[in-house]
Structure 1
Amino acid sequence: MRLPIAAGAATGAVAITLYPLFQGGAWFWASLGVILVVTGVGVLATRYTLPTWLAPLAQLLAVWIYLTAVFTGDEAWARVVPTKESLFGLAKLVVLGFDDIQRFAVPVPDNPGIVLLTCGGIGMIAIMVDFCSARLRRSALAGLPLLSLFVVPASFLSDPLSWVAVIIGALGFLGLLAADGQERVSHWGRAVLVRRTPSFVAPRPAADPGTLRLSGKRVGFTAIALAILLPSLLPTLEPDPLFGFGVGNGNGKGGNSISVPNPIVNLRGELSLPANSTVLTYSSSDNLPRYLRLYSLDNFDGEQWTMPETRGRPDDLISDGPLPPPPGQGPSVPTSPVNLEITVSEEVRNMNFLPLPYPASRIRIEGDWRPDRDTLMVFSTRDTAGGLTYQVVSQEPRPEAEQLKDAGPVPQAIAQRYLALPENLPREVADKAREVTEAGDTPYEKAVKLQEFFTTTGGFSYTLATQGHDGPALTDFLLNSRAGYCEQFAAAMAVLARVVDIPSRVAIGYTGGTNVSGRWNVRTHDSHAWPELYFEGAGWLRFEPTPSGPAGQGTAARPAYTLPELPTAGSDEPTSQPSAGPTGSDTPTGAATNPRNPLLDRDFGGAPIVVDEGMPMAAKIGIGAVFALLLLLIPAILRWEKRARRRRVYSRPAVVVEPAAQGGGQDTGLVAVRSNRGQAGVTAAWAEFDDALCDYGISREPSESPRALARRLSERYEFAPEAAASMAKLAEAVERMLFARTPAETGSLREDVRLVRRALAATVSRGRRIRAVLLPPSTLLRARRLGARVLDGFDRLENIRISRPARRNA
């Protein structure tokens, strides 16, 4: 009956890895119940030797009864026996569960349908594991259904599983293998553990079978330790993606819905990273930079801006046709087609949203990518953009100021969604919005006033030393500190725009980057947030409240339609200053061959921009080499520390005293008194000598006494007189400590140990001496013995037997 219990424990241990997929714990208790049911039936099947084919059928029936009792008990007879109504109820919950999986992103709520699907799936896995291990006696084959449980969270999450959960699951499988091994061995008799005790004088012989025995458990424990510890010790040389949570931090894969919670709060971390790593490069048909948007946030609850529920329809696969038309964009506003080719760095991980200019009309890319119809964000629940190259066609609106002033009324659906503000919005914030836009007669003019308030007239400054955009932080930013970075500027302008009845949202992505050798290079420090404001006929337009240039975010730029003093589209403008659309920027047409930032040429008198290439590759390799060297030196450091500790002990004068009163050949009350200090010094000196023998590879016979060992070494290696005397002194001190009954005194043993060690080192090659310093075998052997003792503890646990009291015959 050991195997059914081990199979159930292994299934439960691996099922723990599912915890990141759920918000609550109802799934766990329901799944634990179904595992106990399957295990209980398996134990009974083994106890009464049911046929192999009958046991899984009995378990399926038991699982059905359990699910009926838990989920549709009200419709079952006696709350347990399935009926027609309870069966239909289970089927209805299954359909609801599949709908919820498609509708919710992980972590999903504990809805009954989702819990039923999870519980039923774990029950099926438990039956398969029990069938493979307890019925077929193929426990290794049971690893396949257990592996499928590992695959589920790995498919839905971009973040790695918790190492604790991985260890628990791996130990569960190892326990199943161990139970299978014990089951086989038990047919031959009882396994006996041979306990080994080390000797002080003689080390364990190399041929001892106890040290060479490697069981399957030991190999498994070693593999788990290496799999968990080794990756955590190795340095990573790749940059984190712009938003490291990707789709995995609360996003499902495999369904048609996705959501990313609160991406704006990650901006500060990316902007303050010391390594300014390349995220992507792109080229445009007009050689001008483009803002590339990843996310669109439109929910403001008074504390933070968050994304709405993102949906991708099955018929909206971008490879099948153009993207949906941009909301609110009418034929009266002229547009300009722009082609971009974007290449995302292979080092970027978990980028499940495409960086795109707004609005994109066509995208050519490999994989399953779908747009959200309301925001035109393009995402995938299965693929990532890392290492991909894709082409984008964008029809950029180029509105004139007069067209925006004459924009029509906002549709009710847009107003209801994008004008919502919390009831607890500070009154000072609303008053400031009305004060700033008082001179504006139209929504467009108010929007321009808001942008000028942040960039020129309001006295704001750019700094990464502040964070937050909730109610108190927003009030302090607008009225007091007036210092922040793009998070505060974008969030604040979007809030003020809603106060004066301009629909707004916050976009997260990248600025246009810098031009390097004719191609635009976007780095982590180009991550950015900006507001998008809605105007009927033109749709959503980008505004830029964040200061740019040397005193701000260097690659940020205000769009041309927000600068009425510059010529707008449709006028006789110089070719060096074309008007840019919502995703474009005012830049010279010759920027492709100029490594300077063209935005600064216009706005800041040609101030140069320094292109940060990040940490050189040679420096990365050097850091990695230093780190690897430090890892390799760990045994040497441990050996040096132990040697220094022992030296402090045996450097002190040591006295071993055993006074005994003797008379007439008879003992008259022997009293043994030993100096603990002297004993510790002799022990430390001999232990150091013993490690030196091991480090230099000098053999030592188990039957040799200390005196015989000293004589053999001195004669064989022809020690100098001083070294031979020191060797003899160490041997005599050890023998007197162990066996003598007469007084003996020893001074400091430091010089003796040093002479003997130097004499031993002179007998071996230089390579052996170097190895003794850098990779001392004594330290490595000690680590191996420690691991062996730990594994011996598990062996002892397995041999514990609960004895039953013998029955007395009447």
Structure 2
Amino acid sequence: MRARVAAAAEVVLCLGTVAPGVLLYLDFFATAAYLAPVAVAASTAALAGVWRYGPWRTVGFAVTAFAVAVTWVYRDTTSYGLPTGDTAKAVVGGVASGWTSMLSVGLPADSEPDLVITPVLCTWCAVYAAVAIATRTRQALAPAVPGLIAFVVALLFSKGEPHLLLAAGFVLASLALVLLRSDRFDTAERSGGGLAFGVPVIVCVATLGAAVAWAVPVATGEDRFDPRTLRPPPVTLSTDLTPLARVKAQLREPAPRPLFDIEVDGAEQSLVRTSALDDYDGVTWSSDDPYLFAGTRLSANTAPAAVTVSARVRVEGLPGPFLPTFGRPVSLDVPDRGERRLAFNSRSGVLVCPEPSLRGLTYSFSADADVRDDSLAQSLPGPGSTDLPDDLPTELRQLAKDLTRDATTLYGKVTALERSLRRLPYDLAAAPGHSLARLKTMLVGEPGTSPGAYAEQHAAAFAVLARAIGVPSRVAVGYRLHDPTSGTYHVTSHDAHAWAEVMFADRGWVAFDPTDPTRTESTPPGNPDPAVIAGPAQPNPPTVDPRTTPTGGENGRPGGGWQGLIRATAVVTIGAVALAVSAAVGIACVKAVRSRRRRAAGGAAGVIAAWREILDRFAERGSWPPITSTPQEVAAQLDDEGLAAVAALVTVAIYAPHELDESAAARAWAVEAKYRRPSTPRGVIALVDPRPLLADRRETRQRQAALRALGTV
């Protein structure tokens, strides 16, 4: 019965070594729906691994169990629960290309069969291998290897984030499995002492390892190898013409051309973005972001102060591939997903459709839209590019400093730039382009030229000036929203527009429109004073004390430097003390349980138990007689009459044909009591001394080696 319980516990621990790898996919999938088919795969694999009724029947049962697991994944292709030809085709295609699908989809992904099949396959193989090894071999560590492989495979598909708890869970399950198998197959006395000592040690080791990894991360996981970098993105866009250059062409069309209808629920929006450009080479604003196929979940909410907006879009004449969105899209619903597959870039928040024609496309999305309010006055710059060409004219850099000289906050600086640029004249007939030379002409003027410009140059100028003072910014291209009809905006080509966006740490990208199409008056050419461009002084937003972002250590992460070293030292010290205390308590408990069991014996067994307790007292003093010494030889070395009497009783207990009475055991225990240390510091140390436990195991190994040498085992 005990063997069956131990075998069942090993199967459970085998599942425990694979479970952390399964849970890693929570970062990959948008929901936990994938866990159901994975649980079916793990259950069938465990049953197949335990099955041992001949090689052919075992293989047949394993194949059947695998078929059940993969059929469950593609159960939509079955007929009355039975697999069909479509099921077979789907399984073959999923097994062959499921892993490539996982590398070409945006995260978090939907629990689609072609994406779930790879975790199911890895889980089934890992569980089957672990259980089969555990039930067919005596190797202590081997059953944990399949779980380790499954964990590494899952790391390749998951996000580049640390998973300390899951790693600690794998270590804990693996060590528990090794301990159980070592105790089960140990031919020594199976009193459970090994488990009682090992379990707290395992818990402490796993806890200490996780704490040390958290305090002193050798690798955070952010720079972990990503196999997606070896695979070209599934959606590539032509960069021959920047979307910014199409703004003027649309605005100059003779008649407005219907592009799309958008119905908005939530906060009122005045701009809808189609593309975002964050690379500037001095001539053109562009973007080379890769796009992955989108599921229903696009990105996590990283801007808690933003406002959630929902929208429904119906495309008419919008040229592809860029699609209208707000802020940072969070979720997406495409009714005809099977016919048209949309793609998304989570960094820029841009949604695209690689189809040649978008007419008739309908989709709904929700997004974290930016809202400009007074709380932005306390915001700091977020992560974003501030790169500019090396040949940036010094006049532009100085102009950016002059225009923002009186502002004390990030929001104050960017609103000052916005106000200044909105006071420049709007002229759709101005020369196209947004190169540095064109921007310099617009902002500081050249003899014989007009500073007139339109949205393309205004947005580009704002982004360049913002980056010149270290503010992360980009150019956004899209359309204006105005005059809704029954809550629906009808967007045409004459609504084309461009603006700039600034990255705030706690809000994400926030739009700033530096163009005023109603300001058509001209200004004389030349090099105006910055104060003239800035116009009358206007109050800045509420000012706050300048703040700096905590940098931490040399690597810029919080917790670095001396503070990180002190914290790491404290954690390691506390963990070491906890480990030592746990080990001491475990040793004392094991010794107490063993002593209690020995004292419960009577007669000859009680005499032998008392003798072994006496030997434990010798081990606590650093003395352990050789295994070849008889009890009389041990007593003779110490010249103790009481010990000699116990040695004689032990000899009688082992070899005499008659049973000793209870008084013999009592006399032996009385002698043992003399060798116990009193309640002194040395006595307390003796309680947690592990040498008696180690001596027992050493004696067992020596006895087994001697028996093997004699050929009796």
- Shorter chain as normaliser: what TM range? 0.3 to 0.5
Higher RCO, 1 or 2 (CA under 8 Å, sep at least 6)?
2
Q: TM-score, normalised by structure 1?
A: 0.36
